[in-house]
Amino acid sequence: MRLLLDTHIWLWSLLAPDRLGRRVARELESPRNEVWLSPISAWEVLVLAWKGRISLREKPEAWVRNVLKELHFKEAPINHEVAIRSEVLDLPHGDPADRFLVATALVYELTLVTADDRLVRARGLSVLPNR
């Protein structure tokens, strides 16, 4: 499988792995799967840290850089098609980060790994729910 991590799944996998469901944990560890990350998730982590909603052991910018260097996720770049898709999605909410993540999954044909029930129920999206 080609898995795109929702931001909270990325954070949980690093900071609170006990929050991952068994299947999600197994799929993230499997060498058969590709694990992808969007730059939107890096941005979201920085925003959460700046707002004091998460605490990291080092400066947020350094933490993100170090994690990306160590874990070698495949990058799912934001391109024009992702931007266009993000605006024509039929999602139950308007969270811009979620819109970009869903559009990224669709454009790159990735399975979104998420615990967000609103995204789990999104039509036309391949999802691996964290349960």
Domain boundaries, the chain: 2-129
The predicted structure's pLDDT at residue 92: 77
- Per-residue pLDDT at 67: 95
Provide CB contacts within 8 A for 23, sequence distance 6+.
128, 131
Is residue 103 over pLDDT 90? yes
Name the pTM for this structure: 0.94
> Is 80 exceeded by the pLDDT of residue 112?
yes
What are the φ/ψ torsions at residue 76 (nearest 5 degrees)?
-105, 90
- What pLDDT shows up at residue 90? 85
Q: What is the pLDDT of residues 48-69, one digit of tens each?
A: 999 999 999 999 999 999 999 9
Rounded distance, CA 27 to CA 25, Å?
6
Q: Do residues 76 and 108 touch, judged by C-beta distance below 8 A? A: yes
The top-level CATH class assigned to 2-129 is alpha beta
